[in-house]
């Protein structure tokens, strides 16, 4: 049995197929994965347990990915949480605003498994400043 702490991830996307793919990739990386299909549920789950990583889509029902990131930034228990935003929106202003809200990496859809894994590793390695 390993003495290492289990890595956990919350995957937030309104598309169940995308959630499944991202979950499979994270499981291969050793994460225990939980899911939310909208921003409101994501915020509820984040308030219950802080994951090691948050993978969040920008465009979500109920509350946007921006709202979820803003909640993380303004929470004393979640502040500094590594966030990987995954979105079909690729405008520079989308990325810039996400970074203002504490997003460490921004991955454009569609993406390959190799791109996703690289972004996860960069997200976790990046020092929050």
Residue 34 lies in a domain: yes
Provide the number of structural domains found in the chain: 1
Residue 1 lies in a domain: no
Residue 60 lies in a domain: yes
Residue 11 lies in a domain: yes
Closest CA to 85 of 77, 95, 93: 95
- pLDDT tens track, the chain, 129 positions: 444 678 999 999 999 999 999 999 999 999 999 999 999 999 999 999 999 999 999 999 999 999 999 999 999 999 999 999 999 998 999 999 999 999 999 999 999 999 999 999 999 998 665
- Distance between CA atoms of residues 11 and 41, nearest Å: 11
**Domain residue limits at 70:** 7-125
- Distance between CA atoms of residues 86 and 105, nearest Å: 9
pTM score of the predicted model: 0.93
CA atoms within 13 A on the CB side of 129: 3
CATH number, position 86: 3.40.50.2300
């Amino acid at each position: 049995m390993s003495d290492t702490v289990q890595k956990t991830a919350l995957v937030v996307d309104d598309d169940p197929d995308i959630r499944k793919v991202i979950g499979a990739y994270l499981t291969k990386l050793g994460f225990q994965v939980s899911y939310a299909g909208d921003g409101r549920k994501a915020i509820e789950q984040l308030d219950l347990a802080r994951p090691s990583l948050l993978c969040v889509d920008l465009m979500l029902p109920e509350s946007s990915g921006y709202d979820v990131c803003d909640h993380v930034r303004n929470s004393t228990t979640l502040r500094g949480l590594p966030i990987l935003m995954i979105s079909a929106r690729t405008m520079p202003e989308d990325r810039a605003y996400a970074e203002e809200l504490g997003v460490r990496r921004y991955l454009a859809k569609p993406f390959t498994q190799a791109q996703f894994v690289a972004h996860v590793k960069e997200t976790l390695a990046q020092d929050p400043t």
